[in-house]
Structure 1
Amino acid sequence: MDPLRKAFGWTAAALILFLVIVWATKPLRAHDWYSSTTDPVSQSKCCGGNDCAPVDPAWVSETEYGYLLQMTVEQARTVNPKAVAPVYALIPWARVQAPPTADHLFYACIWERNRKPEDGSGVICFFATPTM
């Protein structure tokens, strides 16, 4: 085998090994933990693929009955890129879950369309970092 082919072979092998190591050691995507969660009331799976993300605390307010999530269509698309409607949903306390990490205050999983704003059904799952 000529030296040029031998050098190319070693370079290709080193590149493949590097890519395998990088892929195997990369941190899990933030979306991955949503896939293993379900709504505590409906028992529906929280994640359908691309419908969960952190939520800006400015879009959330606490009420006597639970959290009120209000988002424009553009804001909703930061959670679910396929969102076609604004979100105005009251998430009852019984449906609020603690996220696995405390690195962000709120997370939500939302439908493409907000179904019944008055009962929060446009929100599949909602997570709030405990403050106490």
Structure 2
Amino acid sequence: MRQPRGWIALAWLVLSGDADAHDWYTGKKDPVMQSDCCGNKDCHPIDPREVKETKDGYYVRSPRPAYMNEPQEPEWFIPRERAQASPDDRYHLCEHLMTFYRTIIPHMKFEAYQRYRWRCFFVPKGTSSIEKGR
């Protein structure tokens, strides 16, 4: 009898810990577009080696192929004014999967395809574009 309770307790701890890790993204909005950053686990930390800062913004290597079943875009450009300060001094990216449609000529049928798009981007407070208090 004790074994099922132990598994339930372990599952509860794992799931509640995951919710806390996701919690600080909740309620955040893109500073320019004013769209919500987070859907359901859309945000995650990324390796700083995947980010290149320029005077105009950031080039972020896409963590996965942008198109499903198509070649990966090498990187996304994120304008400086859309970057926000992260509370843990790490880079974070919020992305979501969108569905698009294209026409197949000559049949004039539509084919659906999916593509990842970035939604919000968080940078360490020590980066040149983010003031310490923001």
> Shorter-normalised TM-score: what interval?
0.5 to 0.7
Equivalent residue pairs, number: 104
Unaligned 5+ runs, structure 1: 1-7, 116-120
Give aligned-pair identity as a percent: 33
* Cα RMSD, aligned residues only: 3.4
**Aligned equivalents of 1:87 and 1:106: distance in 2?**
18
> Which of 92, 111, 124 is the matching residue for 2:119?
124
Choose the corresponding residue for 2:95, options 71, 86, 110: 110
Give the corresponding residue for 2:77: 90
Q: CA deviation at 1:87?
A: 6.0
TM-score by length of 2: 0.60
Question: Within 5 A, what are the aligned runs for 1:70-89?
Answer: 70-71=61-62, 75-76=63-64, 84=68, 86=73, 88-89=75-76
TM-score by length of 1: 0.61
Query: Counterpart of 1:47 in structure 2: which amino acid?
Result: C
User: CA separation of 1:32/1:86 partners in 2, compared to 1, >3 Å: closer, same or farther?
Assistant: farther
8 Å CA contact 1:68–1:88 kept in 2: the answer is yes
Name whichever structure is richer in strand by fraction: 2
CA contact 1:46–1:125 (8 Å) conserved in 2: yes
Structure 1 or 2, whichever has the larger Rg, is 1
Aligned-partner residue type, residue 82 of structure 2:
R
* Shift, 1:83, TM fit: 7.0
Structure 1 stretches (4+) deviating beyond 6 angstroms? none
Q: Per residue, is there more helix in 1 or in 2?
A: 1
